[in-house]
């Protein structure tokens, strides 16, 4: 099928829940994608931070192929070797003691919300159920996750929303302190907000949040669905801040492109869940965890984090150079290879023009060009991307 035929078929039969663009990728390798007509694109979207190892990384492909031929799925009624081995890797490289596997970031955050409420009721009584999140946050598309999300545009039309959420300005410790009340059980934050335009928390803010949680007996939940697993140059974004959460969530890069997610917690918090309290039919099945094992082993042992830091710094420097040339660039920010360029104008047209020239990027919060390429990109990939972006900016 060509691109036009794919688009027509999709438009006819698939629910119109996405604002799609006229591109139908059919093949990928590393940082490159090709459409049905064979046109090549440099992919700096990477499935929105999913393909951290690029498209079709050989280690992930081999692991999935071998697992497909051996065992696709069994229920969590049984012990699953790959699940246990992947949990071991995640625990040994984080502050967590236990892992719950699921299928997506939204589902991981749902699990975190449930665990926080369960723990708080056991520790403090039934009056503790409220979770404070940040304005402009994004925690997923399920009903509780969009309610946790501090952006009304995602909640409109789905009222009544679940009770028990409160929102405060991000990076404002005083506002957060004032919001804590007798019903508060947890604070849920992204160390680096992604969907609102790549906004990192300050070190002082996260340290202060940890102190507030300890003072009031609250749980600290970090949503690392987008910023975790090497994206910022450390395995987990909170490791930049020397602030440890009680619960954190993962997805996107966890399966190297295969859909999977996880919610992790310290032992004393995880113990609030007992058998039957929470579950996911497909969560942590042998195939998903085979992909996850290959992806995480490669991320931790194959120089991926070092490359992310080195090339990310180079990329950020190049973006700052562009900021010095064009008045419409307001700010360049971010960590590792999770970078944002805030503009004084909407970024949609720039995204479209970049795509026409073979560079895939996207725009967050209308005015922020978001760059989340594979963590294995080279300085030459950056040069090519910046050259295309520079050419487009000259036309604005």
Distance CA 203, CA 195 (A): 20
Catalytic residue among 43, 223, 246, 381: 223
149 labeled part of a ligand binding site: no
27 labeled part of a ligand binding site: no
385 labeled part of a ligand binding site: no
19 labeled part of a ligand binding site: no
Q: Are 314 and 379 in contact (CB under 8 A)?
A: yes
Q: Output b/e per residue, 247-275; b: 16+ Cβ within 10 A.
A: bbbbbbbbbbbbbbbbbbbbeebbebbee
106 labeled part of a ligand binding site: yes
Structure tokens at 191: 């160390």
Catalytic residue among 252, 258, 273, 318: 252
Distance CA 243, CA 91 (A): 16
244 labeled part of a ligand binding site: no
37 labeled part of a ligand binding site: no
Is residue 331 classed as helix, strand or coil in its secondary structure? strand
Query: Any catalytic annotation for residue 234?
Result: no
Would you list the DSSP string of 280-297?
-SSTT-HHHHHHHHHHHH
Query: Any catalytic annotation for residue 321?
Result: no
Residues of the chain by 3-state class (helix, strand, coil), percent to 5: 40, 20, 40
204 labeled part of a ligand binding site: no
**In sequence order, what are the residues at sequence separation of 6 or more whose Cβ sits closer than 8 angstroms to the Cβ of residue 324?**
none
Catalytic residue among 44, 100, 101, 138: 138
State the CB neighbour count (10 A cutoff) for residue 92. 9
Matching residue, tokens 């663009």: 21
Q: Output b/e per residue, 50-82; b: 16+ Cβ within 10 A.
A: bbbbbbebebbeebbeebeeeeeeeeeeeebeb
Whether omega before 160 lies within 30 degrees of 0, making that bond cis, reads: yes
Query: Any catalytic annotation for residue 138?
Result: yes
138 labeled part of a ligand binding site: yes
Residues belonging to the active site: 138, 223, 252
Report the binding-site residues for N(2)-acetyl-L-ornithine.
Answer: 141
Report the binding-site residues for pyridoxal 5'-phosphate.
Answer: 105-106, 138, 223-226, 281
Report the binding-site residues.
Answer: 105-106, 138, 141, 223-226, 281
């Amino acid at each position: 099928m060509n691109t036009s035929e794919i688009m027509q078929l999709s438009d006819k039969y698939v629910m119109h829940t996405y604002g799609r663009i006229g591109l139908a990728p059919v093949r990928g390798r590393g940082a490159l994608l090709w459409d049905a007509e064979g046109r090549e694109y440099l992919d700096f979207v990477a499935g929105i931070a999913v393909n951290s190892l690029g498209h079709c990384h050989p280690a992930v492909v081999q692991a999935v192929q071998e697992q497909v031929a051996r065992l696709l799925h069994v229920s969590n009624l049984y012990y699953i070797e790959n699940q246990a081995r992947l949990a071991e890797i995640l625990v040994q490289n984080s502050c967590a003691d236990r892992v719950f596997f699921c299928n997506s970031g939204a589902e991981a955050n749902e699990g975190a919300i449930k665990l926080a409420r369960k723990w708080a009721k056991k520790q403090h009584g039934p009056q503790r159920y409220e979770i404070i999140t940040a304005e402009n946050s994004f925690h997923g598309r399920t009903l509780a996750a969009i309610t946790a999300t501090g952006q009304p545009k995602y909640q409109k039309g789905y009222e009544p929303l679940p009770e028990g959420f409160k929102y405060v300005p991000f990076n404002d410790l005083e506002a957060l302190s004032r919001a804590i009340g007798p019903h508060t059980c947890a604070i849920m934050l992204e160390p680096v907000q992604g969907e609102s335009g790549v906004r990192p928390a300050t070190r002082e803010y996260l340290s202060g949040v940890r102190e507030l949680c300890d003072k009031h007996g609250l749980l600290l939940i970090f949503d690392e669905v987008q910023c975790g697993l090497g994206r910022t140059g450390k395995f987990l974004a909170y490791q930049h801040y020397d602030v440890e959460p009680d619960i954190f969530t993962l997805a996107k890069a966890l399966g190297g492109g295969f859909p999977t997610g996880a919610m992790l917690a310290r032992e004393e918090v995880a113990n609030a869940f007992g058998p039957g309290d929470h579950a996911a039919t497909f969560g942590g099945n042998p195939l998903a965890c085979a992909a996850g094992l290959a992806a995480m082993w490669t991320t931790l042992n194959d120089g991926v984090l070092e490359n992310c830091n080195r090339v990310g710094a180079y990329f950020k420097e190049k973006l700052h150079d562009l900021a010095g040339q064009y008045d419409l660039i307001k700010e360049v920010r971010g960590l590792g290879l999770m970078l944002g360029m805030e503009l004084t104008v909407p970024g949609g047209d720039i995204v479209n023009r970049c795509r026409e020239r073979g560079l895939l990027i996207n725009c967050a919060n209308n005015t922020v060009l978001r760059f989340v390429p594979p963590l294995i990109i080279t300085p030459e990939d950056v040069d090519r991307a910046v050259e295309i972006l520079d050419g487009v900016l000259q036309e604005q």
